[in-house]
Chains A and B, each alone.
Chain A
Amino acid sequence: MTDGKHVDGNALAGPLSEVFDFDVTSASARCASCGDTTELARAMVYEKPHSFIVRCSHCDAVLMVILQKTDATELDLRGTAWLRAPR
């Protein structure tokens, strides 16, 4: 599941600019599985056709899934327990 090429949360800055109007990659996210709290830029990102799977860099659990549909961007945030955006 997690082998193959991947990038990191920096690459989400563009796709997530369709959902948030601030730079969410600088925000800290807490993993709902292991509790690790770190900037989204540090997460591991697996790009699939029309989607990004974002995984915790600590325990590999899915933090979020970004679906890029023709008419919308959808965000599944079940794996993220908490988000903190710096002012």
Chain B
Amino acid sequence: MAATVSKTSYATPSGRVIELDVPHWPGNLAGQHLDVRLTSEDGYQAARSYSIASVGSGLVELAVDRIPDGEVSPYLTMDIMPGDQLEVRGPLGGWFVWREGATEPVQLIGGGSGVVPLMAMMRQHAAAASAVPFRLLYSARTDDDAFYAKEIDDLAGPALDVTWIYTRKGPGSWTGPIGRLTRETLAAAVIPAAENPAVFVCGPTPFVEAVASWLVELGHDPARVKTERFGGA
């Protein structure tokens, strides 16, 4: 499918939010992704997956973090402009998704750009005024690097409990700890295993794998912990 870039905005120093106009987009579930395929003049092709931050039909929103020396993300975060065309395929994936009818409490855990599919879930939860308890644990390098920080702060409240983890620097008013997520912080922040939450963990592969194994150590049923690895060493 040919998508047209309709709007781009700098969301963080290294990340951009990109809105795409995709003719005949069938709509998507919260948590799905699409594949972007770039073809260079000599015919060389590179395909990468990007989660969809929006839900439903209408414009398709992506949020992309620039990986220095990457093949695709520097192009998406620095070069493309409104009006440009992108070849996309999607919506894709039916496993790492939250469906509105689900009734169990939901724990979202995101690292870096891993918050993108979780954002779609939070937006759908808010749009539906759902009474299902939602909690987010979001680990970002610094407050400037956090995607959707303002929107998440606005959504936080009785319907959405938010815990921030800053690994390098927090906002000016921050009095909490600075540093990587630990098993203890995780245990204190997430919905306890006894409440049988559906857990969605997404982000860089090492982050996802550390969190998933801690969750199991903390008594969470592995079958109820869904993971999505974005890659990275």
Contacts and interface: CB of A to CB of B under 8 A. Distances in A.
A23 B94 contact: yes
Nearest to A14: B35
Interface string A1-36: 000111111110110010000010110000000000
Contact of A5 (B49, B96, B231): B231
A3 to B, nearest CB: 9
Contacts of A23: 92-95
A13 B230 contact: no
Interface residues of A, number: 17
Which of A5, A7, A14, A17: most chain B Cβ within 10 A?
A: A14
Q: At the interface, is chain B mostly helix, strand, loop or mixed? A: strand
Contacts of A6: 205, 229, 231
A42 B94 contact: no
B95 A14 contact: no
A41 interface: yes
B49 A39 contact: no
A2 to B, nearest CB: 12
Contacts of B34: 14
Interface of B: 33-35, 47, 49, 89-90, 92-96, 205, 226-233
13 contacts: A5-B233, A7-B229, A8-B227, A10-B93, A13-B94, A14-B34, A17-B89, A23-B95, A25-B93, A41-B93, A41-B95, A41-B96, A42-B227
